[in-house]
Amino acid sequence: MPPHCDTMDGPVVRAARLAIDRKNVNLVLPWIQKESEGELENAFKKTLQMRSFGNSTAEFADHWFYETAVRLHREGEGASFSGLKPAGLDTGPVIPLAERALETGNAKEVVDFLSNLVAKEVEKRFYGAISKKDFDINDVDAARQYVQGMLQFLLFSHHLYKYVTTWDHGKKVKPS
């Protein structure tokens, strides 16, 4: 996934900020696994205590809490954590569309974008293969070029299908 959950403007840090502002850890708990709740709740209590010592201490405590929340979130995904990333990183074209869909309650933009992208990529590989199909049987290099193009088309299609039917945020599911 492009930079997102581990950035200073990502959803986990936004939830952690809101939790601190409202003094309610429940606003960030959904981002971590249940088995990590105790660790995050302990960090939250310490953060609120440290904030009472002044601005620089509050800033340090907040940042530490953001890091703790993101680290625990990433652990729950089975992903590594290498520190918080700055705000404003490029998340690619689909994350903003997906976030807007969640805000508006309408996924049409995401569906259209992904459908068009998949169609273009499948067609690119298909036409790359089909353009090499009519080779001279005695031209082994041309035959190899066709086989490579054909395999790119078949394998791309297969892997895309497998990904779409079996991926659920890192959890394997059976195809329907």
The fraction of the chain above a pLDDT of 70, given in percent, is: 94
Torsion over CA of 119, 121, 126 and 129, rounded to 10 degrees? 170
Over residues 27-59, the pLDDT tens digits come to 999 999 999 999 999 999 999 999 999 889 999
Give me the mean pLDDT over the 80-89 stretch: 90
Reference 24, options 15, 14, 33; nearest CA is: 15
For the entire predicted model, the pTM comes to: 0.73
Over residues 134-171, the pLDDT tens digits come to 999 999 999 999 999 999 999 999 999 999 988 776 55
